[in-house]
Amino acid sequence: MWKRHQRREGLPQAPGQLDPNICFLCWCGCKARGEGSERQTCTEKEHTEDQHLSLDEVIAWPRSFQVMLRSTEGRDVFLEFLRSEYREENLMFWITCEELKKETNSSVIAEKARIIYRDFISIFSPKVINLDSWVRDGIMQSLSKPSSIMFEEAQLHIYNFMRRNLFPRFLNSAVYRDLLNSKKHNALTKM
């Protein structure tokens, strides 16, 4: 509860927490527009990085989890790794929350919120994500009046879990090494 109160009151964020005014869609540092349920993120078109994955991008990933998440291909490769670790629900939840934040129709928001709850929050789901009970309880209470940002606390928790625990393992995995070696080989053959 303190974290939610801290954000509402505009107090400084605790170390390791993200600024709630920063765009969650692309993590580019642009400022989100509006407040509360009216808050909007930048559009994907503003920050699209769907071009073919370059060696420079792949080399940049170890410096920034955000850079890897911005890349559609980066998310795909990371998801491939997470599937091998039986942890894909974490990234799937994060992406689904990003999609919910773009929604403006209240009936669609309510339906998507129920689906996200059923698929990732409910303890009976096979894809349940690991959350503190107070976060899970807060989401359950929010279901009576869903909003496009009702999963932010859980999403931040999952983001930090992926960044601190799963991303370092990904960078040491055969999936990442093989991709990096393939990009290096392609770069050498083009010279």
Q: Cα separations (Å) of 27 from 21, 58, 83, 103?
A: 11, 17, 24, 18
In this prediction, residue 187 carries a pLDDT of: 83
In this prediction, residue 28 carries a pLDDT of: 38
**Residues ≥6 apart with Cβ < 8 Å to 12:** 6
**155-184: burial string, b at 16+ Cβ within 10 Å, e else:** bbbbbebbbeebbeebbebebbeebbeebe
For the whole prediction, is pTM greater than 0.85?
no
Of the candidates 30, 165, 12, the residue with the CA atom closest to the CA atom of residue 3: 12
In this prediction, residue 186 carries a pLDDT of: 86
Side-chain half-sphere exposure of 127, counting CA atoms within 13 A: 16
In this prediction, residue 190 carries a pLDDT of: 79
In this prediction, residue 54 carries a pLDDT of: 87
What the block records as the tokens of 22 is 């920063």
One-letter amino acid identity for 97? C
In tens digits, the chain (191 residues) has pLDDT values of 333 333 333 333 333 334 444 444 333 334 444 444 344 444 444 343 334 788 999 999 999 999 999 899 899 999 999 999 999 999 999 999 999 999 999 999 999 999 999 999 999 999 999 999 999 999 999 999 999 999 999 999 999 999 999 999 999 999 999 999 999 988 888 77
Domains in the chain, ordered, with CATH?
63-191 (1.10.167.10)
Q: Check residue 147 and report its DSSP letter.
A: -
Whether the CB-CB separation of 97 and 151 falls below 8 Å is answered with: yes
In this prediction, residue 92 carries a pLDDT of: 97
